[in-house]
Homo-oligomer: A and B are copies of this chain.
């Protein structure tokens, strides 16, 4: 896309400017410390344009991390059908995202960033903490919500590592149905069973 000279309101890459401002702010202030208003100011655009392009702060964060899906929305969909069978639905969705030629590499990139030291790691940690764990926890009842979500996240991350990053057999080549049968009950237990 060519960039025309002219006043700021006249430029063509408003979306890219918002992303650039958001990337800088998330890196320095973290997810919690970054407001939509500050992102708009940094980009020199009207604050209404941020939700116009990215929906909400989660969507903006997903775009900054170049995630091809909004995890928040995916998680809401999975829990919309209730807690019954939620473990199996999560494994099915995670396997589909990992095996997909677009979302798979994006998730691997996110995990690689999480492994590095420094600001990229902090941003990913904030994202996992606030968006992923937060979204799960919001759908879970009682004071154990966050503990349940974190335990489930540990199994999901480990599954992703084993299937796609390290390539541990037979997990790397198991069918999605086999993964669902084996790992679904673990997530179901963490999310919905009596923990103590």
Complex CA distance for A147 and B181, rounded to whole angstroms? 13
Known interface pairs A115-B115, A154-B159, A158-B161. Does A128 touch B195 (Cβ–Cβ under 8 Å)? Answer: no
Q: How far is the CB of A71 from chain B (nearest CB, A)?
A: 15
**Which B residues are CB-close (under 8 A) to A183?**
151, 154
Report the nearest B residue to A129, measured CB to CB. Answer: B168
Is A15 an interface residue, CB under 8 A from the partner?
Answer: no
**Which B residues are CB-close (under 8 A) to A146?**
169-170
Tell me the dominant secondary structure on chain A's binding face: helix
Q: In the complex, are the beta carbons of A182 and B169 less than 8 A apart? A: no
Is A112 an interface residue, CB under 8 A from the partner?
Answer: yes
Q: In the complex, are the beta carbons of B168 and A133 less than 8 A apart? A: yes
A:68-88 near B, CB below 8 Å: none
**Which B residues are CB-close (under 8 A) to A189?**
185-186
Q: In the complex, are the beta carbons of A151 and B171 less than 8 A apart? A: yes
Is A157 an interface residue, CB under 8 A from the partner?
Answer: yes
Count of chain A residues near B, Cβ 8 A = 41
Task: Encode contact with B along A175-189: 1 for CB under 8 Å, 0 otherwise.
Answer: 000000111011001
Q: In the complex, are the beta carbons of A155 and B158 less than 8 A apart? A: yes
**Which B residues are CB-close (under 8 A) to A169?**
129, 146, 150
**Which B residues are CB-close (under 8 A) to A153?**
158, 162, 168
**Which B residues are CB-close (under 8 A) to A155?**
154-155, 158, 186
**Which B residues are CB-close (under 8 A) to A115?**
111-112, 115, 165
Q: In the complex, are the beta carbons of B170 and A162 less than 8 A apart? A: no
**Which B residues are CB-close (under 8 A) to A154?**
155, 158-159, 161-163, 168, 171, 183
Using a CB–CB cutoff of 8 Å, the interface residues on chain A facing chain B are 111-112, 114-116, 121, 124-125, 128-129, 133, 146-147, 150-151, 153-159, 161-163, 165-171, 181-183, 185-186, 189-190, 195-196
